[in-house]
Amino acid sequence: MTSDRYVTRIGEAKAANINMLRVWGGGIFERDEFYEACDRAGMLVWQDFLFACAAYPEEEPLLSEVEAEVRDNVVRLMSHASLIVWNGNNENIWGFDEWGWRPIIKEGVTWGLGYYLDLLPKLCAELDPDRPYYPGSPYSGTMDIAPNADEHGCKHIWDVWNDVGYEVYRDYIPRFCSEFGWQAPPSWTTLEESVHDDPLTPQSHGVFHHQKATHGNERLIRGLAGHLPVPKTMADWHFATQLNQARAIRFAVEHMRSHRAICKGAVVWQFNDCWPVTSWSALDSAGRRKPLWYAMQQAFDPRLLTIQPRRDKLAAIAVNEQTLFWRSKISGRRMKLDGTVLAEFEFWRLLCDRFEAKEFILPDDIASPDAADDEVIVVQMLDKRAFHYFVEDVDLKLPRPQFDVAVTRVDDGCEVKVTARSFLKDLCLMADRLDPSAVADSMLVSLLPGESHVFTMSTKRPISPEEIVPGAILRSANDLLSRYD
- What are residue 360's DSSP bridge partners? 316
Report pLDDT for 233. 95
Q: Which of 337, 371, 395 is the last residue of a domain?
A: 395
User: Where does 153-194 show beta strands of DSSP type E?
Assistant: 155-157, 177-180
Same domain, 86 and 111: yes
Asked if the structure places residue 216 within a domain, the reply is no
- Within this chain, do residues 267 and 377 fall inside the same structural domain, yes or no? no
Average pLDDT of the residues in 8-32: 98
Chain center to CA of 361: 27
- For residue 376, the 8-state DSSP code is E
The count of domains in the chain is 3
Sheet holding 326-336, edge to edge: 341-352, 326-336, 375-381, 384-389
Residue 130 shares a structural domain with residue 45 = yes
Residue 465: predicted pLDDT: 85
Query: Residue-wise over 220-252: b if at least 16 C-beta within 10 A, else e?
Result: beebbeebbbebeebbbbbbbbbbbbbbbbbbb
Checking if the pLDDT of 469 tops 70, the result is yes
Q: Which of 30, 67, 98, 179 is catalytic?
A: 179
DSSP sequence for 386-408: EEEESS-GGGS-PPPP-EEEEEE
Choosing from 299, 317, 339, the residue where a domain stops is: 299
- Whether the pLDDT of residue 464 is over 90: the answer is no
106: pLDDT strictly greater than 80: yes
Half-sphere exposure of 206 (CA within 13 A, CB side): 13
CATH number of the domain where residue 466 is located: 2.60.40.10
Q: Which domain holds residue 430?
A: 403-483
**Residue 485: is its pLDDT beyond 70?**
no
> Are residue 389 and residue 439 in the same domain, yes or no?
no
431 with 313, same domain: the answer is no
CB 197 within 8 A of CB 205: yes
Check if 179 is active-site: yes
Check 12, 59, 69, 91 and give the catalytic one: 91
**pLDDT at position 1:** 85
Residue pLDDT, tens place only, 124-169: 999 999 999 999 999 999 999 999 999 999 999 999 999 999 999 9
pLDDT at residue 483, rounded to an integer: 67
Shared domain check, 309 and 390: yes
In-domain check, residue 376? yes
280 lies in some domain: yes
Question: Dihedral (C-alpha) 46, 272, 15, 18: value to the nearest 10 degrees?
Answer: -30
- Is residue 484 predicted with pLDDT exceeding 70? no
Cβ contact 416:394 at 8 Å: no
- 447 with 475, same domain: the answer is yes
The three-state (H, E, C) secondary structure of 99-162, written as one string: CCCCCCCCCCCCCCHHHHHHHHHHHHHHHCCCCCEECCECECCCCCCCCCCCCCCEEEECHHHH
pLDDT score, position 471? 84
Domain assignment present for residue 15? The answer is: yes
* Mean pLDDT (the chain, rounded): 96
pLDDT tens digits along 266-299: 999 999 999 999 999 999 999 999 999 999 999 9
Q: How far apart are CA 477 and CA 374, in angstroms?
A: 15
Is there a domain that residue 198 lies in? no
The share of the chain scoring above pLDDT 70, in percent, equals 99
Note whether 258 and 369 are same-domain residues. Answer: no
Let me know whether 138 and 107 are in one domain.
yes
Calculate the CA 340 to chain-centre distance: 33
Q: Which of 312, 87, 43 minimizes the C-alpha distance to 179?
A: 87
